Amino acid sequence: MKRDLKNSVKSYVESKQLNEEQLDSLVNMVNAQKEIEPKQSRPMLRVAAVMASILIAAGLLWNVGFKQQPEVSILIAEEVVHNHLKMKPLEVSSHSLQDMRTYFNKLDFALRGSSLITSGDLQLLGGRYCSIQGVTAAQLRLQDRETGELETLYEAPYDNDLFQELPDLQKGQTPKRHYINGIGVDIWVDKGILFARTFSDDT
């Protein structure tokens, strides 16, 4: 009986073994799977490559855009000219700088003249609140006594972090000059105050 059991087990095991043809078929299937797997991973590689390209392109565009961003003095000049051309009504009219100081009591500084604004040819007409790059400022209107030309003078507290480096008269530097829409703008710093003044010629 034991011999019959042994023979039965042997026959069962042998029946489950692969013949040569079946073994070759199995090997071919394994090899085919190895070739398929890299191909299946190719779409993922393509996606990764596309994403990397997009990130690189975005970085380049960011750098280019940053480098092309106008310097702060140009942004100030554009804003100053824009407000100058609007010629909004004055909130206070006076020829006295002291009256202006009294009116502009919401500023973090007291209005003061600059050594560049000493010409007796200019007469103060009045002023109104304004802003420069989001900073509350005083907008003063001046008039040339001889030509009648109107000019606008802006005063705001100077913040180096916001306005970056601007010419400082106390350091012997000269104002930065820009022309926007045919109007000249001088920008400078004097005793901690940012000044911006429009003019109609290049003198």
Within 10 angstroms of residue 7's Cβ, the number of other Cβ atoms is 10
pTM: 0.64
Residue located via tokens 């023979």: 7
Angle at 59 between CA 55 and CA 65, to 5 degrees: 140
CA 196 to chain CA mean position, Å: 22
Distance between CA 75 and CA 128 in Å, rounded? 21
Q: Which tops the pLDDT comparison, 57 or 197?
A: 197
Lowest mean pLDDT among 9-13, 49-53, 125-129, 147-151: 9-13
On the question of pLDDT at 9 being above 50, the answer is no
pLDDT band at 64 (very low <50, low <70, confident <90, very high): very low
Question: What confidence score (pLDDT) does residue 162 get?
Answer: 85
Helix, strand and coil content of the chain, in percent to the nearest 5, comes to 45, 25, 30
Please count the helices (runs of H) and the strands (runs of E) in the chain. Answer: 5, 7
The 3-state DSSP class for residue 180 equals strand
Task: Write out the two tokens for 188.
Answer: 């400078």
What are the structure tokens assigned to 111, written together?
A: 């209005």
Distance separating alpha carbons of residues 167 and 160, to the nearest angstrom = 11
Q: Residue 175: what are its φ and ψ, rounded to 5°?
A: -60, 150
Rounded to whole angstroms, the Cα distance separating 139 from 124 reads 11
Main-chain dihedrals φ then ψ at residue 178, nearest 5 degrees: -135, 155
User: Chain-wide mean pLDDT for the chain?
Assistant: 78
The two most distant CA atoms of the chain are separated, in Å, by 136
Q: What's residue 45's pLDDT?
A: 56
Over residues 142-161, the mean pLDDT reads 91
pLDDT of residue 65: 46
Per-residue pLDDT band for 13 (boundaries 50, 70, 90) equals very low
How far apart CA 167 and CA 156 sit, in angstroms, is 15
The highest-confidence range among 39-48, 71-80, 193-202, by mean pLDDT, is: 71-80
Which of the listed ranges 10-14, 40-44, 61-65, 69-73 does the model predict with the highest average pLDDT? 69-73
Q: Is the pLDDT of residue 15 over 60?
A: no
40 to each of 6, 34, 49, 148, 150, how far by Cα in Å? Answer: 47, 10, 15, 80, 74
pLDDT for the residue 67: 46
Q: Judge whether residue 149 has pLDDT over 60.
A: yes
What value does the mean pLDDT take over residues 59-84?
A: 74
